[in-house]
Amino acid sequence: MKKNVRQLLMIPGPTNVPVEVLLAGAKPMINHRSKDFKIVFEYIIKSVQKLFQTKNDVFMLTSSGTGAMEACVSNIVQPGDKILVATIGNFGNRFAKIAETFGADVEKLSFEKGKAIDTKVLKDRLAKDTKKEIKAVLFQQNETSTGVLNDVKAVAEVIKAHGALVVVDAISGFLAADLKVDDWGLDMVAAGSQKAFMVPPGLAFVSVSKKAWDVIEKTKATSFYFNLKTAKEFAPDGETPWTPAVSTAFSMQAALKILEEEGMESMFERHLWLRNAVRAGVKALGFKLFVEDDKYASPAVTAIIPAEGIDVEKFRSHVRTNYDVILAAGQSELKGKIFRIGHLGYTDQKDILVTFAAMEMSLKEMGYKVELGKSVAAVQEALMSKVKVPV
């Protein structure tokens, strides 16, 4: 990396972090078992509960997002338990691998990449489970590898009709799209600091419903570090069982204050607005959208198929080297076939404009045919029309 360069992170996490959030993390260390920390901790938990739209318990873990996924699984799964994972991509597959690691009898219900969970298919599968052996259904709010937003409310309804626990990885979708934990009856939900929270990596969150607690109480914990029963014992004192990422907690506190000022409605609108601008720009550039249906197109990240003959990895590298704009690669079998633009968290219109300008210049410099300003104009047009969040 070049020195003193401000990179523009257009990736789906870690995201760009506001200066006041970074500065908050530079505060001198405090005792994590003190009144001072309790104030920070309780503010964070209360704020995150508000954003989760829940009265359920919310726990703060020191880990990346995957730790929160693992906490969900390890607290409800006993070896041999039947777990259904509705997967639409890489992160769904990760959920399945975690459940396998903890000895679950995992069944993957896989859907085509670029598409959302088909609730009809899920319903049919669950209807076959007449003995109600499936203990929980795991899925993503937003599948980051393909840029698909699931209809969490509809998926949860189907699962609840069966009776299994509803376990959602909301890590990349949270705050980019609405998620009503209580209204939609979500039993366990995972979130992480480095996505739309616009905080450095290091903290993760898990919410736990009454119904999930009933299962957890009967389950012998298979993880020591992520044992939520232990976390529950410490929570009333404003503490976590093990040393938390204190600096990241300071940053989280600062970020939550900013998010509170912006308000949830405005956050969702902003993400949709930026997504629409990115989608308009992609089309004008002559590239293809991996997710064609606007209904499921993620407000957090857009997956893009470049025009024929373009070497994706060379293109990403050129944009990075010459313009310090960081685009995300494709994952697994999509590597080299697509790239992704993250537009979540601390992202605004100028970032989208710069990204498309840099992509056009890069294409021209690499010898591809491109009309300078064309995709930028499409982005400008899209940005000049306001969006409303569908309710």
Ligand X SMILES: *Cc1c(COP(=O)(O)O)cnc(C)c1O
- The binding site for ligand X (CB under 6 A) comprises 12-13, 64-66, 91, 140, 144, 169, 171-172, 192
Sequence-ordered alpha helix ranges (H) in the chain: 19-24, 35-52, 65-76, 90-101, 119-127, 152-162, 210-218, 228-234, 246-262, 264-284, 312-323, 349-365, 374-383
CA 304 to chain CA mean position, Å: 18
Measured from the CB atom, the residue of 169 and 360 that comes closer to ligand X is 169
CA R_g for the chain: 21
Q: What's the one-letter identity of residue 338? A: I
In whole angstroms, the minimum distance from the beta carbon of 323 to ligand X comes to 24
Q: Is there a contact between 360 and 375 (Cβ–Cβ < 8 Å)?
A: yes
Least distance CB 309 / ligand X (angstroms): 30
Rounded least distance, CB 335 to ligand X, Å = 16
**Which residue lies nearer to ligand X by CB, 12 or 200?**
12
Query: Taking the complex as a whole, how short is the minimal distance between the CB of residue 64 and ligand X, in angstroms?
Result: 3
From the CB of 298, what's the least distance to ligand X, in Å? Answer: 10
Element (H, E) at 62: strand 57-62
Cβ 353 to ligand X, closest distance in Å?
25
Please list the residues that pair with 82 across neighbouring strands: 105, 134
Nearer to ligand X, 199 or 235 (CB): 199
Nearer to ligand X, 78 or 247 (CB): 247
Find out whether 343 and 271 touch, Cβ atoms under 8 Å. Answer: yes
Q: Do residues 61 and 204 lie in contact, with contact meaning Cβ atoms separated by under 8 Å? A: yes
User: What's the CA gap between 205 and 39, in Å, rounded?
Assistant: 18
Give me the least distance between CB of 171 and ligand X, in Å please: 4
In this structure, the number of other CB atoms found within 10 A of the CB of residue 372 comes to 11
Rounded least distance, CB 29 to ligand X, Å: 24
| 238 versus 342: smaller Cβ distance to ligand X | 342
User: CB-wise, 69 or 208, nearer to ligand X?
Assistant: 69
CB of 368 to ligand X, least distance (A): 30
Toward ligand X, which CB reaches closer, 12 or 25?
A: 12
- Closer to ligand X at the Cβ: 12 or 330? 12
Bridge partners of residue 137, in order along the sequence? 84, 166
Q: Which is nearer to ligand X, 280 or 304 (CB)?
A: 304
Beta bridge partners of 47: none
Distance CA 95, CA 30 (A): 35
Whole-Å CA distances, 70 to 74, 143, 197, 207, 387: 6, 17, 20, 13, 36
Residue nearest to ligand X (CB): 65
Q: At what angle do helices 90-101 and 65-76 cross, to 10 degrees?
A: 40
> Environment class of residue 31 by beta-carbon count within 10 Å: exposed (0-12), middle (13-18) or buried (19+)?
exposed
Tally of CB atoms within 10 A around 361: 16
